[in-house]
Amino acid sequence: MSYPILVSIVVNWNLKKELGECLDSLCQVDYPGHKIVVVDNGSTDDSAAFVATHYPDVKLIVLSQNQGYAAGLNAGISYALEQGASYVFLLNNDTLVEKNAVSRLIEVLESNPEIGIASPKIILYHSRDRIFGLGDRIYPFLPLPVGFGYGKRDSPKYHKIMEFDYVTGCAMMVRSEIFRKVGLFDTSYFMYYEDADFCRRVHDYGYRIVCVGHAIIYHKFARSTAQNKTQMVRIRARNRIRFYRRYKHGPHPWLTYGALGLIAIWRCLLNFLKGRGWWIRPYLQGLWEGWCDRESR
């Protein structure tokens, strides 16, 4: 029996320990002929040497410097397409994959050619009864999409296949033909919202996006971003504004901008009250950069 070619891509930056645990889980999945690619994004903790020594069967792509999560994904995707992959599984390096998660995602994708992206249910690694996130849905009368499952206690109602407009790039399996139709990830985001941008293009092309509730991974959450928190606060704020200026949500763009403005005020106040006043300046700087960005107009 022949199986569709699957290539899993893990982008790594200075998380050697977590990367090893992620690769150990990927090496144990029950899908035959599974190929694994690690894209090392200019790590300085000897991650590349670690992979080469301990995981000789894993394809290693080494970038000379940190080019961002989107660029790292694109390097791996280009290799996967050269290998004739039918499906590409994109994965954060601080995740662990359950043995049957990959085969269950492929089963769903194989069952319906209209499904372009299938995401597993992502559970918090240190709180195994809590969901990291399921996905987000767009409603025509709301200025921003609505998130589902974030921080919720897992239950049988989340064990089904659920359709969304956006799922997180922390873990998503993509039908390879999509990359040839809508392109790769937008590297101008560097990281944050590159997954939302990609999902939006896939959705607008007419494909469905789902979260498969019986395919599970565990996420340690924000290990890489914690290494340079100030920069990440700025980049995330910038990309949030860029994304919503690029893609219309709700009845009118100015309603979306107003909602984003109220959220910004609330976050600044919350950071001040929680003793994180040093976050406010990079956060506001990022918002301003996103608003001034010409590519988003």
pLDDT of residue 230: 82
State how far the Cα of 139 lies from the Cα of 192, in Å rounded to an integer. 22
Superfamily of domain 6-222: Spore Coat Polysaccharide Biosynthesis Protein SpsA; Chain A (3.90.550.10)
pLDDT of residue 232: 87
Contact 211/134 with Cβ under 8 angstroms? yes
Q: Say whether pTM exceeds 0.85.
A: yes
pLDDT-derived band of residue 181, with 50, 70 and 90 as boundaries? very high
pLDDT higher than 70, residue 239: yes
Q: What is the pLDDT of residues 38-51, one digit of tens each?
A: 999 999 999 999 99
Pairing of strands 95-97, 208-219: antiparallel
pLDDT-derived band of residue 280, with 50, 70 and 90 as boundaries? confident
Mean pLDDT of 59-79: 95
**Helix (H) or strand (E) segment spanning residue 239:** helix 229-246
For residue 196, which amino acid is it?
A
Average pLDDT, the chain: 93
pLDDT-derived band of residue 270, with 50, 70 and 90 as boundaries? confident
| Domain map (residue ranges) of the chain | 6-222, 226-296
pLDDT-derived band of residue 223, with 50, 70 and 90 as boundaries? low
- Give percent of the chain above pLDDT 70: 96
Angle at 202 between CA 82 and CA 175, to 5 degrees: 40
